[in-house]
Amino acid sequence: MTIVRDMALDIPTPDGVADAYLAHPDDGEPHPGVLLYMDAFGLRPSLKAMARRLAEHGYTVLVPNVFYRSGRAPVIELPDHIDPSQRPEIFAQLTPLLQALTPEPAMRDAGAYLAHLAASPLVTDGPVGTTGYCLGGMLGVRTAAAFPDRIAAAAAFHAGRLATDAEDSPHRLVDRITAELYFGHADHDSSMPADQIKKLEQALDAAGVRYRSELYEGAHHGYTQADTAAYDAEADERHWRDLLELFARTL
């Protein structure tokens, strides 16, 4: 078993200071860097546990609080078990944060996160990987497009709204991507229905991007998040297998 060390840290960005969490193998050696993008519920104990699990496999994992402009994590108070159907006020609080995180500031932040990884003695030289969940999956795709020389692999799990009619829809950016991509779509996910999946895949094919796009049958939006009502243990373990295979090939 790999011993993992972790720490809280602050990362200067063009717009302020983002609080973040870092996990890495405790062996004194640099390891490939991974930027883990949070879901909409934010930086919290369950995401830190995911970062530590990934670090056990030989990666230095950075988890920024992408809502830092609204406060340090936890930005909103969350129950130990998150079930929005029982707590509708959670999304009422999250919606303004999501709306404020438009692509331009999000990519300014991404540049700061990648610069931190590049400067860290805990990270090997060269490109890094991203893995993102829900909101984070979209941020990972945008980061791969904005920084093609820095991202070797990007995984998105139960990510929504990747191929909409909006002018800034992520699928319109994929011709800029050089990374290998992986998409683990939830079967029951109103934010990423079959027509959007098809539109995304058509854009990826047209751009010649290396990718896998798979449907996790029976899984709901949020299936990787162990502290939520959407959690699906079987789908989560599949996500770990697919993610680790991607990074083993590319990082």
Secondary structure string (H, E, C) spanning 229-251: CCCCHHHHHHHHHHHHHHHHHHC
Task: Note if 57 is an active site residue.
Answer: no
Q: What is the mean pLDDT of residues 210-221?
A: 98
**Whole-number pLDDT of residue 174:** 98
| Catalytic residue status for 188 | no
CATH number where 75 lies? 3.40.50.1820
Mean local confidence (pLDDT), 98-115: 97
Q: Is the predicted pLDDT of residue 1 greater than 90, yes or no?
A: no
Distance CA 56, CA 3 (A): 7
Q: Convert the pLDDT of each residue in 84-106 to its tens digit.
A: 888 889 989 999 999 999 999 99
Three-state SS at 133: strand
Query: What angle do the packed helices 135-146 and 103-119 form, to 10 degrees?
Result: 70
Question: Does residue 109 have an active-site annotation?
Answer: no
pLDDT at 232: 98
The CA distance from 192 to 188, in Å, is 9
Distance CA 171, CA 163 (A): 5
pLDDT tier at 3, thresholds 50, 70, 90: very high
**Model pLDDT, residue 245:** 98
At residue 84, the pLDDT reads 85
Give me the catalytic one of 39, 109, 116, 134. Answer: 134
In terms of residue numbers, what domain contains 48? 4-250
Share of residues in the chain with pLDDT > 90 (%) = 97
Higher-scoring residue by pLDDT: 209, 85: 209
The HSE-up count of residue 240 (CA atoms within 13 Å, CB side) is 17
- Kindly name the residue from 189, 227, 232, 242 that is annotated as catalytic: 189
Question: Could you read off the pLDDT of 17-46 as tens digits, one per residue?
Answer: 999 999 999 999 999 999 999 999 999 999
Active-site residue identified among 24, 221, 227, 242: 221
Per-residue pLDDT, 88: 87
Task: Compute the average pLDDT of residues 53-71.
Answer: 98
pLDDT tens, position by position, 162-202: 999 999 999 999 999 999 999 999 999 999 999 999 999 99
**Domain count along the chain:** 1
Q: What are 143-167's pLDDT values in tens digits?
A: 999 999 999 999 999 999 999 999 9
